[in-house]
Amino acid sequence: MPLLADNGNSVPMKVTVESPMTPQDHVRTIRLISERNPEREMATFHLGPRAGVAEINSRVRLAGSQRVTAVAEMSDGSLWMDSAEVVVTLSACVDGS
């Protein structure tokens, strides 16, 4: 994710997990978790060995500056995690009340 996002309505993100993506050793799921969004679990991506590469490219909405965490569940049941801090100058997902 970029360190600075001008607009929280569409923030580019990329998650890559180093994995051979074989039937014995692959990424099952990648979850994106937000610190400040109204819905903390932003997305869940299901993968398997036929994906070939464990990489997700997308855009997300962010309700202000925050830490976004990616959690990858591997085929052996282990969980891998990393996070990124993003400064958002114009927030999205803001409650209208």
* Residue range 27-67, pLDDT digits in tens: 999 999 999 999 999 999 999 999 999 999 999 999 999 99
- Asked, for residue 32, whether it belongs to a domain, the answer is yes
| CA 71/CA 30 separation, integer angstroms | 6
- Asked, for residue 97, whether it belongs to a domain, the answer is no
* 43: CATH: 2.60.40.2470
Q: Domains in the chain: how many in total?
A: 1
- Asked, for residue 13, whether it belongs to a domain, the answer is yes
Both tokens of 82, joined, read 């990393």
User: Binning pLDDT at 50, 70 and 90, where does residue 71 land?
Assistant: very high
pTM of the model: 0.88
pLDDT at 22 over 90: yes
- Asked, for residue 96, whether it belongs to a domain, the answer is no
Pairing of strands 4-5, 27-34: unpaired
